[in-house]
Structure 1
Amino acid sequence: MAKKTDISGRLSLTPASPTQASVATFDFRLFYMPMFLTGILVLININYGFLLFHTFAELFSIIVGVLMFVVVWSTHHYTRNDFLLYLGIGYFWIAVLDTLHTLTYKGLPFFDISGPNIALQFWIYTRFLEAVLLITAPLFFRHRLKSHLFIWVGGIITTVVFLASIYIEEPALFIEGKGLTQTKIVSEYIIIGIVTIAMLIYWRTGKILSSRVKSFMLISMAFTIGAELSFTQYIDVYGLSNQVGHIFKLFSFWMIYQAIIQTTLKHPFSVMSLAADSYEAVPYPVVLVNQDGFIQQANKQAKKDYPNLVSDTPSVHNLMHPKEISENECIICQHIQSLKTLVPTVLEFPDSKTWRLFSLSPLQIGDETEGIIQVSTDITRQIQAQHELQLAGNVFDNLAEGIMVTDDQLRLISVNPAFTSITGYEADDVLGKSPGILKSGRHKPEFYQSMWNEIKKTDSWQGEIWNRRKDGSIYPELLSISAIRSDEGPITNYVAAFTDITLMKNIEDKLSHLTHHDPLTELPNRLLFINLLESAIKRAKRSGKKAALLFLDLDDFKNINDSLGHTVGDTVLINVAERLRESLRSEDMIGRHGGDEFMVLLEDFKSNEEIISTSEKLIAALEDPIHFHDRKPLYVGMSIGIAICPDNGDNSEQLIKNADSAMYQAKATGRNQFHFHTEELNAQASRRLVIETQLRQALSNHEFSVVYQPKVNVKTYEIEGAEALVRWHNQELGKVPPEEFIPIAESVGIIDELGEFVLEEALSQVNKWQKLSSQNMSVAVNFSPRQFMNPELSDTIMTHLDRANLPGEALEIEITESLLLNQNELIIDTLNQIAAQNIQIAIDDFGTGYSALRYLKNFPISVVKIDKSFIQDVTIKTEDAILVKTIILMAHGLGMGVVAEGIETRQQLTFYQVEDGDTAQGYFFSRPLNQDEFIKTLTSWDPKKYKTV
């Protein structure tokens, strides 16, 4: 058996007392003495006057200053603390000067002095010296002090101050009857400023000073500041603020004294006491091992982690080292046998999937090595964190998005490989430079100012921006910037992630062109033309000029389509569009309104004669026949209605309506004519008035009903739900189409009530459907943009769902594209609240409005509904087919579902299925049904009926 060396007697230390063990705890009992002295001084002031109060208050500070010098000078041999020595010597000379200040105070018999200025001179000089002493003392944390030289310097400074105070009378610091001079007050504030800076320096000293000593120093300086503030307030030298200031000074000196006593006397003894428990208190397993590898002694943590230590002289290798390594191969055991120091070494424990850090230090007692101390630390978390950091680094290097990291001064400090791939700049090209190196020059300074204002406000910004590559090419990117803050709060870094969205922009531009231009004639479509018209109306309002809208309709075009076919009809429309465009000025705008209707916008005309001349040119442009290579030429005529802004309307809707009315009047008076709008053409307004009146009573009269058009999964042919459609039958008006009464319902303010009625009716039916079908049946309900202006809309929806006992998945809300153009925070919040309840949000009639990828990406859209106008000709018009394909591809790429409206033929359905569509509705499957018809259809539904062989 290996020989044991028992050295426990040599290592044992006396346990620390509870008081010693808690030296870091601030003891408020330290204030008892200065509080007691304050009480005595107050009694002296009350009974014997301010002069004796002042003398005793200063005497205390003088005694404390001398004691500080005596203590630090006597203990410096042991503490080697030049910082304290510097303070002690400095406060000794401050005590000397305070003595002179006390002896020269007005009223004392030692000097023949008639006024307070000499004493105040001593005071100001002394306080300046004290402030400078405090702010310069930290220099001696790390620098040596030539103590004897400093004593001489202090004596010389004291002599100079003495002479200056006695013989230099200016500037006056106090004027009898008036109080302190501006010089005295400014001097006090300068002293306060120096002491405040000193406090900040001590606050930021870190661990150079113990927390307790630092607290003493900071409290002392705080009392000094309080004293100096008090000394700026008195008018009479015996005043209350002067008394308060001396009491603050008493506390200040007492705390400095405590700092020195704590460091030179109390702390060393506490350290000796605490050292006795340090071995047992180490939070890591520490063992003493002899040269043969047997454990001789262990601390509490080792015994806790390794219960087998209670056995007799266990082997350190068997107990604490990895079992997979033999003792001969173990690097720790090799160092133990040679009694050599081992720098921290990491060993893995595969069985437990942990890592420990081992270090060895020989134990020297006298000239002999009695063993070796092994310390082991579980660093599993650190290793795992390191692995996670490595993983984060790998992710950083392999992200497809470009990443830039800057410091708080916007200097680039890191970029990833994707940054180089996108911009062409290598890391060495940009590190240390500003991200502004990528600026394209396309954005105004206001753009960047707005961006940084947002970052300062929210710590982040996201948007699209144009940047420039190293080769000079400009590209669009989606950029996200985030500010990184430290635990203390200040920004330390900025991180920017960006993606080259050139391809997305190209797709968006193509889709935008398809959306805003007629695919047949390449003219602006109705949507774009109305935008241009509204802009022209705004310009007319600002300038006071007029604008004219010409509504053009081909005569008898329907006969051409019906008799000669759509191909001939399309050729006619293309030819007409070219002729009309060539007949107009370059600044005039022409668009296709739809079908055989065109609109022309005229601005900057001087009189109606110019409008007449343009109208005649347009009609004349169609006088020549349209030639075909395989059939006889065709003659096409045209009727034009004219409405002038602001005479016939000051908004696009009114102008179009009036121009349309004028066009029908032109047709009524003969073909190839034009007609200006007159008030006699407003018969439509009468019907609108009747509709408004009847609408207000329609809900209470139960005139509305809801029908349901099935929505079919085109892969399984199962009914998955239905779209709820409102119908209105009025006794006076008969059946009024939704497109006629819904806009009026919005304008008269009953759309919210009508919407709630439809929602409640539809949800009540879903409960019935789900009992009859194995599918998760849902209902789609159309919501008007006006309903989203109601801040309680999301709560209303959830109330109806709860009332119907249905989850959010049972409801799909259909909105129009125009809703998303309004960046209203209420609308955005409402959409997000609805989506958070798992309610599907669908864009209805997609492709007929402002189709843009940005809102599909930025809003919680889950379904895109393709408008039936595109489905109608999808098998015969290449443009419609391309658009439908693009919409499906785009929606699926963004993780959205697709619904096709208006499926009426097998050919349309087949095309939609081939392009991987999801859901369809239309008369091919079913017309809209009332609730009883829908249930009957649902129960008798046979998917096999629609499957092709």
Structure 2
Amino acid sequence: MKSEEGHSALTPRVIVTLYLCVGMLWLGAQAGVLGYFDVSLNRQSLRWQIGLFIVWLLATALIALWFMQRKARADQRGRETAQELELVVRHAPAGMARVHVGGAEIVWANAKLAGWLGCSVESLRGQDFRVLVPVNDQDDVALQLQRLLDGSTDYFQVLRQCVNAGTGKVTPVLCTTSRVAASGVDGPVALVCVLQDLSEMVSARNAMMRSETMLRLALEGSGNGVWEWDALEQRLNFSTGMSALLRYQGQDLAREFDFHQRLHPEDAAGARAQAEQALEQGSMLVLTARLLCFDGLYRWFRARGQAYKDESGRLIRISGLLSDQTASREADERSRLASTVVDNTIEGVVVTDAHSRILSVNHAFTKLLGFSEAEMLGKTPRMFKSGRHDKAFYDAMWASMHATGHWQGEIWNRRKNGEVFPERMSLSAVKDANDKVTHYVCMFTDISAEKAREQQLEFLAHRDTLTGLPNRSQFTRMLGEAVELSQSTNRRMAVLLFNIDRFKDVNDSYGHSIGDEVLRHVSVQMQGALRHGDIIGRLAGDEICVVAQSICGRDSAVDVAERLMAAAGQPWTTPDGLSVVVSVSAGICLYPDHALTADDLLQGAHAAVYGAKARGSNAWCFFHENMTQAARERLALEARLRRALELGHMRLYYQPQIDLATGRVVGAEALLRWLDPEEGLISPARFIPVAENSGVIGPLGLWVLGEACRQGQQWRAAGLPDLAIAVNVSLHQFLLTDIAGATAEALNKSGFPASLLELEITESALAEKPEEALAVLNRLRELGLRLAIDDFGTGYSSLAHLKRFPLDLLKIDQGFIRDIPHSADDMTISSSVIALGHAMGLKVLAEGVETQEQLSFLQQKGCDYFQGYFCSRPLPAEDFTRLLEKTREGQPLVAVATAG
């Protein structure tokens, strides 16, 4: 400011006065010099001198004026610049202050700094410089200030927060203190503090830190790892999440990880090719491959990355993400497998939305119903309704769905061609995390063939396949109902049993096919001659039985018998052109004259028919008291049977059971024999009925069970191959004794494994009381036994119940095997039984196989096992032991054909 005042004193007036003074001095000086040297000037010379002086004076005056104007303009520009500078400083976005060098007090500050501190500019003047630096940094600032003053540094910086005294607002700033030097002056003339607002920088840094934190949390939460390949330093850098992904437990993953070495051999070539292509094209790198993790297991990973290059095209780095795809790959594989299974299953599958609109169907659906997938999409399953079910059926189905989320049962639906067919259907609801139904899945199987088999087997269970008449079990049930009706109505009735005379001669002379034709012809003729309400059935062989209800007496019974005998004796011609005439004999037993129960009526009729045959052909005979001799013989036989059991006269014979696939012995059926010291072997057909009717069957069955287990364990102890021992269980033993407890005791006592013991229960035993039978079978199953149904097809059983029983084996009665291959009906029945058994998950064994033709037929139909005379008769234990020793090394007992 002093230099500006000095320059401003040289005004034009001052300059002119100075020039006049200088001129006068110059003229005086010139006159003095001339006088001293005594030089006189003429007028001309004087004028020249004066003129020269004037020229000089004007010239120098003009030059001085030019410099003065230039100086004035420079001063004007300086003042304008100073004003502009002051304006800029005053309104600068940074806080600024000038500090006195000597006292370190603030000389001047701008409004911005005052605003941050919440005070006026005037109040800052004279304050100590240290108000601008943090209290904690006072000592350090004093040191830095000393270094600044002595020239060791040109500036120093400190961070601080300016707090507004009025509002409390905090402004973070960077305070830079520098010295101001002047030319020719030793040391600084002033200190300048510039405070830069860091609010936006701090906010940006905080935002960046939040973003980094959020990104790190997102990466950690997603399970992804971050990787970077530094091409310049040839080094891999990994995020912390990579260690968890690669199951790494060490400290330096980047040093120990070699991407190429850890690639699965099957994925290595493809992965390298993809990486090279991405680098060449500068495109995004996306590859999926298996990597060997540090726990020794291969896992699927997906790597995504981007290459970065400089201006010259040189690769700088590649960075990206790595994610574990193992779970998703496995889920995709399971989904693909499930989709493949669903599409290739034989069951129809329908998926609908929550409103029952069809979303997808599988191939089996289109095949079973005849609709294409395009025809089904968006439709509802209501279009398949058959009309066979009422509203209550569907209400119950949906009530189950809403209560349990599942329904399973049988339903009839309609194909595209209008055909109605039965299905076994399973309907399930699919729910989301909020337990809300999102989809329904329906699976169904066409059970038309199964229903046909059931109907056929239901027919077989009730009807004789040869004649179509009710079979023995059905006829016995109907006879029992007729007896109850007669008792309730106090009416008389007659049971008439017919035998075809010399029927054995017909079979022997003309063959079984003609014998079957005779039976069919006689049954048809007799059916045509029946009165309304009478009952007819075939019991066995050539035994045809009739119940004549509501008869008046003996004469009425004779009229019925003679009418039926006449009808059966009508001449006829076989399809082969053979003329045949047969006759029948009849035994008649009256209710209530001769017997009061169904069993007694049948026994009486049997006894009477023997009396009729004794009279010759085409005869009839009433039951009479003399025929009770048979009953007395049965009582004597019962007493002898009890003694035989006590004296140890009972024996078990064993018939081998053969695996049809290998010809090897896999089991043996234990068959009871009575070795009487006087009569020798007594047939089971003679004493078993007596035992069942007298109650001896109970202790007799216990002995058989214990002896079979003892013998089986003895064979095992001798080192012979393990084989299953099958033991027959009678109806009385099965339902009226603790068969499960007795079996457990026999197994414990003998040590024989339960898994090798098979109990055979007759079909009639299961049909008698199905619920009780199911409970007993479940108790036996808990012991670990095998369970078989014996003589299948000869009893009266419900397939609905049969499917519930926990069975392992189904045995075809020998009556269906005996006439194979001559009887087409028996072949059909046997084939159906085999198919049914396998459909129920059971093994099938055929009894009574006696010929190679029968064996070949059974093997062709897929039967699992057989037994019969073709292999071996039932043998005593000693002989059966020798048979087992011959096959000890697994040699087949029977040569069977193998599939080519």
Alpha-carbon distance in structure 1 between the residues aligned to 2:815 and 2:255: 91
Counterpart code for 2:301:
R
Secondary structure of residue in 2 paired with 1:755: helix
Distance 1:329 1:749, change over 3 A: same
**Equivalent residues of 2:662, 2:892 under 8 A apart:** no
Deviation at 1:916, TM superposition (A): 6.4
Alpha-carbon distance in structure 2 between the residues aligned to 1:931 and 1:589: 47
**Equivalent residues of 2:411, 2:423 under 8 A apart:** yes
**Equivalent residues of 2:759, 2:785 under 8 A apart:** yes
Secondary structure of residue in 1 paired with 2:539: strand
Secondary structure of residue in 2 paired with 1:347: strand
User: Partner residue of 1:348?
Assistant: 289
Matched ranges for 1:701-780 at <5 A: 702-712=648-658, 718-728=664-674, 737-739=683-685, 741-742=687-688, 751=697, 753-770=699-716, 775-780=721-726
Among 800, 814, 818, the residue aligned to 1:872: 818
- 893-902 or 870-879, larger mean C-alpha shift: 893-902
Among 633, 639, 643, the residue aligned to 2:586: 639
Matched ranges for 1:237-276 at <5 A: none
User: Partner residue of 1:844?
Assistant: 790
User: Partner residue of 1:398?
Assistant: 344
User: Partner residue of 2:847?
Assistant: 901
Deviation at 1:472, TM superposition (A): 1.4
Alpha-carbon distance in structure 2 between the residues aligned to 1:436 and 1:280: 49
Alpha-carbon distance in structure 1 between the residues aligned to 2:704 and 2:399: 45
Matched ranges for 1:633-672 at <5 A: 634=581, 636-644=583-591, 648-649=595-596, 651=598, 653-664=599-610, 672=618
Alpha-carbon distance in structure 1 between the residues aligned to 2:582 and 2:694: 46
Matched ranges for 1:153-192 at <5 A: none
Matched ranges for 1:407-418 at <5 A: 412-418=358-364
Distance 1:288 1:476, change over 3 A: same
Among 217, 222, 225, the residue aligned to 1:285: 225
Deviation at 1:473, TM superposition (A): 0.7
- Normalized against structure 1, the TM-score is what? 0.57
| Structure 1: unaligned runs, 5 residues or longer | 1-267, 364-369
**Equivalent residues of 1:547, 1:645 under 8 A apart:** yes
Alpha-carbon distance in structure 2 between the residues aligned to 1:475 and 1:434: 18
Counterpart code for 2:724:
S
User: Partner residue of 1:301?
Assistant: 241
| 1:387 counterpart = 2:333 | yes
Alpha-carbon distance in structure 2 between the residues aligned to 1:293 and 1:910: 81
Distance 1:542 1:660, change over 3 A: same
Deviation at 1:708, TM superposition (A): 1.9
Secondary structure of residue in 2 paired with 1:386: helix
Alpha-carbon distance in structure 2 between the residues aligned to 1:298 and 1:567: 90
Deviation at 1:723, TM superposition (A): 1.2
Alpha-carbon distance in structure 1 between the residues aligned to 2:456 and 2:372: 33
Among 596, 599, 602, the residue aligned to 2:542: 596
Among 459, 476, 484, the residue aligned to 2:422: 476
Alpha-carbon distance in structure 2 between the residues aligned to 1:490 and 1:600: 64
Alpha-carbon distance in structure 1 between the residues aligned to 2:705 and 2:511: 43
Distance 1:894 1:362, change over 3 A: same
Distance 1:911 1:285, change over 3 A: closer
Alpha-carbon distance in structure 2 between the residues aligned to 1:938 and 1:289: 76
* Bigger Cα Rg: 2
**Equivalent residues of 2:288, 2:300 under 8 A apart:** yes
| 1:376 counterpart = 2:316 | no
**Equivalent residues of 1:641, 1:663 under 8 A apart:** yes
- 375-384 or 293-302, larger mean C-alpha shift: 293-302
Secondary structure of residue in 1 paired with 2:817: helix
Deviation at 1:286, TM superposition (A): 3.6
Alpha-carbon distance in structure 1 between the residues aligned to 2:769 and 2:413: 26
Deviation at 1:399, TM superposition (A): 1.4
User: Partner residue of 2:472?
Assistant: 526
Distance 1:783 1:454, change over 3 A: farther
Report percent identity of matched pairs: 33
Deviation at 1:573, TM superposition (A): 3.2
Counterpart code for 2:759:
I
Deviation at 1:451, TM superposition (A): 5.9
- 654-663 or 679-688, larger mean C-alpha shift: 679-688
User: Partner residue of 1:254?
Assistant: none
Deviation at 1:351, TM superposition (A): 6.5
Alpha-carbon distance in structure 2 between the residues aligned to 1:416 and 1:863: 35
Distance 1:865 1:675, change over 3 A: same
Alpha-carbon distance in structure 2 between the residues aligned to 1:939 and 1:372: 78
Alpha-carbon distance in structure 2 between the residues aligned to 1:312 and 1:674: 109
Secondary structure of residue in 2 paired with 1:845: strand
Secondary structure of residue in 1 paired with 2:874: coil
Distance 1:879 1:699, change over 3 A: same
User: Partner residue of 2:880?
Assistant: 934
**Equivalent residues of 1:548, 1:601 under 8 A apart:** yes
Secondary structure of residue in 1 paired with 2:875: coil
Deviation at 1:423, TM superposition (A): 1.5
Counterpart code for 1:415:
V
- 585-594 or 555-564, larger mean C-alpha shift: 555-564
Q: Deviations over 1:655-698 (max 9, x none)?
A: 42343344445556776555666777555555555666776776
Alpha-carbon distance in structure 2 between the residues aligned to 1:535 and 1:558: 33
Q: Deviations over 1:740-779 (max 9, x none)?
A: 5545655666655543422221122223334667644332
Counterpart code for 1:880:
D
Alpha-carbon distance in structure 2 between the residues aligned to 1:797 and 1:714: 29
Deviation at 1:503, TM superposition (A): 3.1
| 1:554 counterpart = 2:494 | no
Counterpart code for 1:595:
G
User: Partner residue of 1:206?
Assistant: none
Secondary structure of residue in 2 paired with 1:872: coil
Alpha-carbon distance in structure 2 between the residues aligned to 1:454 and 1:731: 67
Counterpart code for 1:641:
I
**Equivalent residues of 2:496, 2:586 under 8 A apart:** no
Among 519, 529, 537, the residue aligned to 1:583: 529
Alpha-carbon distance in structure 2 between the residues aligned to 1:772 and 1:508: 46
**Equivalent residues of 2:423, 2:444 under 8 A apart:** yes
Counterpart code for 2:241:
Q
Alpha-carbon distance in structure 2 between the residues aligned to 1:778 and 1:600: 43
- Normalized against structure 2, the TM-score is what? 0.60
Distance 1:625 1:827, change over 3 A: closer
Paired residues in the alignment total 669
| 1:616 counterpart = 2:557 | no
Alpha-carbon distance in structure 2 between the residues aligned to 1:935 and 1:618: 54
Greater helix proportion: 1
**Equivalent residues of 1:642, 1:662 under 8 A apart:** yes
Alpha-carbon distance in structure 2 between the residues aligned to 1:486 and 1:699: 69
Alpha-carbon distance in structure 2 between the residues aligned to 1:752 and 1:490: 59
Distance 1:710 1:400, change over 3 A: closer
Alpha-carbon distance in structure 1 between the residues aligned to 2:887 and 2:220: 79
Alpha-carbon distance in structure 1 between the residues aligned to 2:484 and 2:366: 46
Secondary structure of residue in 2 paired with 1:477: strand
Alpha-carbon distance in structure 2 between the residues aligned to 1:695 and 1:488: 73
Matched ranges for 1:798-877 at <5 A: 800-801=746-747, 803-821=749-767, 824=770, 827-828=773-774, 831=777, 839-850=785-796, 859-877=805-823
Distance 1:844 1:451, change over 3 A: farther
| 1:420 counterpart = 2:361 | no
Q: Deviations over 1:212-238 (max 9, x none)?
A: xxxxxxxxxxxxxxxxxxxxxxxxxxx
**Equivalent residues of 1:511, 1:851 under 8 A apart:** no
| Structure 2: unaligned runs, 5 residues or longer | 1-206, 309-315
